[in-house]
Each structure stands twice: as structure tokens, then as C-alpha cells.
Amino acid sequence: MSVRHAMLALLSEGPKYGLQLREEFEARTGEVWPLNVGQVYTTLQRLERDGMVESEGDSPDGPQKAYRITEAGHLELDTWLRTPPDLSSPPRDELVMKVLVALRVPGASVTEIIQAHRRYLVQLMQQWTHIKEDSSPADLNLGLAVDAELFRLDSVVRWLDAADARIKRAAADQRPSDANPMTADGNNQGEAGTAAEGRNQWPLPRSRTNVRTRR
Amino acid sequence: MSSPTMIELQQVSKTYGQGEAEVHALGEVSMTAIAGEMVAVMGPSGSGKSTLLTIAGTLEEPTTGEVLIAGQPVRAMSKRAKAQLRRRTIGYVFQDFNLLPGLTAAENVSLPLELDGTSARKARIAALKALDGLGLGNRDGHFPDQLSGGERQRVAIARAMVGERQLLLADEPSGALDTTNGEAVMRLLHNACKNGGMTAIVVTHDAQLASWADRVVFIRDGHITDQTIPAAGPESLLTTAERDQ
């Protein structure tokens, strides 16, 4: 979430004060992303430094400054809205790493580990769904923000389901002579890595092991 | 006072076939659902979730174990008593709706009541009320092929809820619907439990749909392996960031 561009979007409607920007940001995002007021002023100072906004002096009711978007700010906002986020390289996903690591840990039940994560994610989804259920259908911002979270969490559950099935199938396909130490229920029974497996530290296809990841 | 148990499965097992062809679909499954509760059973294809539902709905006998509905053991019931239980107490919703194409929406909904001996007039009044409650008040005279997928599933839900049904069993009820219609179906089922006191067991492989349930039970290879635990209030998700006032 770019606070910088969210501030520009709010200022594109007209000049606003810092506290007003924080309140409107939270209202527009269905209060799903609470914002620290310090973040607002730091962001505004940087935007002013970069020529994206201008301050309009003190408020008649106090020392607050009103901020106004500049032409450069409008251009920056428009460019940001039309630019797809960088999804070209996979993120360094902690959950994916945990499952991959678990495959090599002696005695670790990958199935149980996957289920623990699945349960946690579904519980989170239940909480988001309750928020959606209790919200007014007219609150479009909240509905969209909650849907985004639900779809994001759902995609992780789907990956866990696919991983679970793939691991189960791999164990079932295993011939008795094979050296892989995993049993049909996803339990690792042997040492971490045989001589043959040792060439490839993580169970990724070799052509993908050097794939660039985002930090 | 806690709500009474509506349905209880006690160490239910189901085996199909014999010898080398023997398949263990369910293995000593125990679960309960109380009045007003919506439980989702989540698991991959072939995990036994549909078998669990058909046994819970008395459509199949378990190989071993017992099913109790409103405290009454199903195994001890006569065929006639079981048929009456299915007509009066249990409602079924399926992925492919199972509506009769030659009957209107109102006729599809009133049919189970008429089969149970309710007069055609009373059954029609109940059907129209059920359809109206699901936002289909102006669709009563339409045939299934004149309705959208979402409307057809709402007719199926009206049919499952009409009368004084207390237990609703749904097998992938929104599997054939898009996200918006699927969500609408789950919202209806949850409202029927929360506000109408019904008990619902919904089997699905879809986490977004399961998240409408009060409790999600996970099934794998015919065994219940886990379930969700009541989480902190949903408001905790909205107030996690520290604020400086």
C-alpha cells in the first residue's frame, strides 16, 4: 500500500490538512489499514520536498498547514495508477519457505505443518467474513478492501491444498527402492538429504533455483 | 443456557465393497452441531465429506457407529420414521440444484410439503412465503430454465427450508455459481442459522465459502483431522496498528 500515492489521491480532490488526510484515508480504506499520524506528516514533508504538494500556510484555527497537490503531483498520481505493480518475480514468501524446509527436516510431518497454517488462514478468513457480514452493503470501500484480503488469503489456502496433494501424490508414487525419506502421510523418516538429493539443496526444479526473488 | 445438540455423529465409519475392492470412505468420525450453528466441512475431493453428509442426512447407513438427530438414534428408527424425518426435519441442497424442470419455482418448493400430507393451498402459501424470504417473491411462476443459476439455487434453498425444517445439509451449494452468487447463497444459509435457529452442515473445498461458517471442520482421508477454534473478535483485525493521538 503506497501511503504517498494515497495522499496524492486524496489531495487531488482539493486542499486538505494532515489530520483530515489521516481520517479520510482510514474511511476510504474501510479502516482496514489504520494510519499513524506521524506517517502522514512525514509523507507530506517528502512530497513537498519532491515538489508533488505545496503547503498553504497555517490554519486559521491553529498551527496546522493545508496541503495542495501540484501539477507534478497530478502527473505522478496518474502514472502510478496506470503502472502495474512488479509481480514479475516471486516474493520471498515465509510460508512457502517453511513448507519447503519442512520437507527436509527429519521427523517433521509436512501434512500437519500444512494443516496448522491452513487452519490459521481459514480462521483469519472467518474474521474478515464476519466484518463483511456486519458491514453495510453501501460501504463499498470496506467491501472491496475485505474482498481483497479474502482473495489473498484464499490463494494461500489453495496453494497449501495443492502442495498437500502434490506431496501426497509424490509419496504414493515413490517406489520402495527410492531414497526419499517421506512417507505417504507426509512424514519425513530419515536423514535430511541423501547423496543424490544433496546436489539440490531445496526441492525446486533446477531450472528455477536461480529465479530472482523480491525481498 | 447452551443450545441443544441438533445432530451428533458417534464414531461413524463407512466402508464400500469387499476384499480387495474394499474402500474405507469414513473412519470413526465423531462430530456434533448445535441448534443455530453453521458448520463447514472442508476437505479435498475424495476425502469423504460427501459420504459424511449423506450419512448425516440418513440417505445412507453407516457401516458402524451411530447418528443421532435431535437426540434420536437414527439406526433404531423404522423406515417410515426415517422417511418422515427426511421430509419434516432435514432439508438438502445440492450443487446442481436438483429442481424438477416441469414444475414452477413455487411448485418445486411446495412439493415436499404436499408429499408430507399438507394441503395444496397451505403448501403453496408456505412456498410463497419461503420464496419471498429469499428475494424471489416475483419469481414463483417461473420454471427452472427461466431462472438464473443464483435464482435456481435460492429456490433449492427455499425448498430445503420450507416448513419447520431444523437441519439443513448442503453439498457444495455454490459450486456452480460465480463469486457474488456463491456469497449470496452462503449469506442466506448463515442467516437461516443465526436468525432462524436452523443448523446447517455445508461441505465444500472452498475456503472463502467455508469462512461463512461458525466452525470449520477439516476432513482428510475419511478422518476429521482438525477444526477452527473461535477467534478473537473481528474488530481486532481493524485496530492492530498503534495510533498516536
**Cell (9 digits) for B153:** 439455487
In angstroms, the separation between the Cα of residue A72 and the nearest Cα of chain B is 31
What pLDDT does A61 receive? Answer: 54
Dihedral (Cα; B209, B151, B171, B113), 10-degree rounding: 130
Mean model confidence pLDDT for chain B? 89
pLDDT in tens, B54-87: 999 999 999 999 999 999 999 999 999 999 899 8
Residue ranges per domain, chain B? 1-89+166-230, 96-164
When mean pLDDT is compared across A108-117, B163-172, B174-183, the lowest value belongs to: B174-183
- Under the banding of pLDDT at 50, 70 and 90, the label for residue B89 is very high
Confidence of residue B227 (pLDDT cuts 50, 70, 90): very high
**Above 90 in pLDDT, residue B41?**
yes
The reported pLDDT for the residue numbered A205 is 39
Are residues A72 and A133 both part of a single domain? no
Separation CA B15–CA B113 (nearest Å): 34
A52 has pLDDT over 70: yes
- pLDDT at position A172 is 85
| Angle formed by the axes of helices A140-173 and A110-134, nearest 10° | 160
- Structural domain containing residue A33: 3-81
Question: pLDDT tens, A180-200?
Answer: 555 555 666 544 433 333 333
Q: Is B205 part of the contact surface with chain A (CB cutoff 8 Å)? A: yes
DSSP states of A47-79: HHHTTSEEEEEE-TTSSPEEEEE-HHHHHHHHH
Number of H helices and E strands in chain B, helices first, is 7, 10
A197 and A119 belong to one structural domain: yes
Last residue of a domain, one of A81, A108, A142: A81
ipTM score over 0.90, yes or no: no
Q: Do residues A76 and A137 share a domain?
A: no
Note the pLDDT tens digit of each residue in B129-153: 989 888 888 999 999 999 998 899 8
The verdict on B164 touching A (C-beta cutoff 8 Å) is no
Query: Residue A208 has what pLDDT?
Result: 43
> Is position A136 within any domain?
yes
**Any domain includes A162:** yes
User: Quick one: pLDDT at residue B233?
Assistant: 61
Please tell me the total count of domains within chain A: 2
Instruction: Mark whether A101 and A70 lie in a shared domain.
Output: no
Q: Which three cell numbers stand for residue B145?
A: 430454465
Give me the mean pLDDT over the A93-106 stretch. Answer: 88
What CATH number is attached to the domain comprising A76? 1.10.10.10
pLDDT value, residue B244: 36
Question: What average pLDDT does this structure show over A118-138?
Answer: 91
**Does A121 share its domain with A189?**
yes
Give the B window 211-240 contacts with A, CB below 8 Å: 211-213, 216, 218, 220, 225-229, 231-240
Closest residue in B to A185 (Cα) is B221
CATH topology of domain B1-89+166-230: Rossmann fold (3.40.50)
Last residue of one domain, picked from the residues A56, A81, A106:
A81
Task: Find the mean pLDDT for residues A16-20.
Answer: 90
